[in-house]
Amino acid sequence: MKPLRILFGALALITLAPVLVFSDVVPDPPVRLLRALLDAGTANRIVVNNGSGVMADAAAITASRVLISDSNGIPTANAALTASRALQSDPNGLPIASATISDTELGMLDGASSNIQAQLTALGAGGFVKLATYSPSGATSVDITSLSSTYDAYLIVYHLAQASGTLTEIPIQTDYDGGASWDTSNYSYQVIRSTNAGTITGTGSNSAPFVGISGGGNDLRMTNLGDAVAGEIFIANRGSAFRRARWTWSARFFGSTSNNGVSLFGAGDRLDNGIVNAIRLASGGVSTFTGVVRLYGLAN
What is the C-alpha to C-alpha distance for residues 243 and 245, in angstroms, rounded to an integer? 7
**pLDDT tens digits, 255-291:** 766 567 788 899 999 999 999 999 999 887 668 889 9
What is the C-alpha to C-alpha distance for residues 205 and 188, in angstroms, rounded to an integer? 6
Contact (CB, 8 A) for 74 and 58 = yes
CA dihedral 172, 173, 179, 180 (to 10 degrees): -150
What is the C-alpha to C-alpha distance for residues 150 and 300, in angstroms, rounded to an integer? 7
For residue 116, the surrounding DSSP H or E stretch is helix 116-124
* pLDDT at 38 (0 to 100): 58
| Of residues 35 and 157, more confidently modeled | 157
Mean pLDDT of 191-204: 85
Q: What secondary structure does DSSP assign to 148-204, as a single string?
A: -TTEEEEEEEEEEEEEES-B---EEEEESSTTSS---S-EEEEEEEE-TT--EEEEE
What is the C-alpha to C-alpha distance for residues 56 and 37, in angstroms, rounded to an integer? 7
For residue 37, the surrounding DSSP H or E stretch is helix 29-40
* pLDDT at 57 (0 to 100): 66
| Cα 299 to Cα 129, 209, 231, 295, distances in angstroms | 7, 31, 21, 13
What is the C-alpha to C-alpha distance for residues 104 and 99, in angstroms, rounded to an integer? 13
Contact (CB, 8 A) for 275 and 183 = no
Angle at 196 between CA 195 and CA 200, to 5 degrees: 30
**pLDDT tens digits, 80-100:** 667 666 677 777 776 776 667
- What domains lie within the chain, and their CATH numbers? 4-60 (no CATH), 128-299 (2.60.120)
**pLDDT tens digits, 37-72:** 556 666 666 666 666 666 666 666 666 666 666 666
What is the C-alpha to C-alpha distance for residues 32 and 284, in angstroms, rounded to an integer? 104
| β-strand pairing of 200-208 with 187-194 | antiparallel
* pLDDT at 216 (0 to 100): 60
Indicate whether this model's pTM tops 0.95.
no
- Residue 150 makes CB contacts below 8 A (sequence gap 6+) with 297, 300
